[in-house]
Amino acid sequence: MANRGSPPAMRAVWGTEHYELVVRRVLAARTSVWIATANVKELMVEPHGRPRARYHSVLAEFDRLARDGVELRLLHAGLPSGPFRAQFDALPRLVAGGLALRQCARVHMKTVVVDGSWAYVGSANWTGAGLGAKADGRRNFELGFVTTQEGTLDAVQAHFDRIWRGGECSDCRLRGSCEAPLDLPPPRASGATTVVAIGRPRGLKPAARRA
């Protein structure tokens, strides 16, 4: 039984809480960030630890996290937007595998798992209108939940990792038309504009910092 006054193991998230709770948690990651989204667009964020600083690309923050050894995975369905790709191309550390991207047309789930100990599951894509800091009147009506429940975390991570590693590919009826099935070795990145299947999965990390 939880102690009185302890934070809830699961709570609903809507509106600007998507930025305040989800994006800020990503920026403070210590070991890993796994993101699944149908759409990928540029996201403007406050620099971590500098709340009054000018907003900049979330990819600049991903570059910082990659520098610090944080594992970054992005599983997506559609091609990233032009602004996202341009900013990605300008960051060699991410292009070299610091941000691993894998594309699967079947992916429609939206989830963010941070450090193996916290997860968001809901309706919001990795876009400004979904998770970003856009003002009221410019945001989508999104709803989801965040959780630290161990069983839920294990289930979410296992489902993500099975898709990431191509565990669903053999039964997929789109396999015949898929340019890069995830159960095949990803092609080696040959240029800065390559944004699909960059980097190899580095293994399912044990969930550290469960508390």
The answer to whether residue 2 is domain-embedded is no
* Residue 120 lies in domain: 10-177
Per-position DSSP letters for 64-100, written without gaps between them: HHHHTT-EEEEEESSPPPHHHHHHHHT-HHIIIIISE
Has residue 47 been placed in a domain? yes
Tell me 179's DSSP state: S
The pLDDT tens digits for 118-133 are 999 999 999 988 887 7
Burial of 177 (0-12, 13-18, 19+ CB in 10 A): exposed
Q: What's 154's domain CATH number? A: 3.30.870.10
160 found inside a domain? yes
Q: Residues 65-104, buried b or exposed e (16+ Cβ, 10 A)?
A: bbeeebbbbbbbbeebeeebbebbbebeebbeebbbbbbb
Instruction: With cut-offs at 50, 70 and 90, classify the pLDDT of residue 204.
Output: very low
Amino acid at 100: A
* Domain contains 116: yes
Give the span between the Cα atoms of 34 and 71, in whole angstroms.
8
pLDDT tens-digit series, residues 164-173: 999 999 899 8
Please state, in angstroms and rounded to a whole number, the distance separating the CA atoms of residues 180 and 163. Answer: 13
- Identify whether 167 is part of a domain: yes
Arithmetic mean of pLDDT over the chain: 85
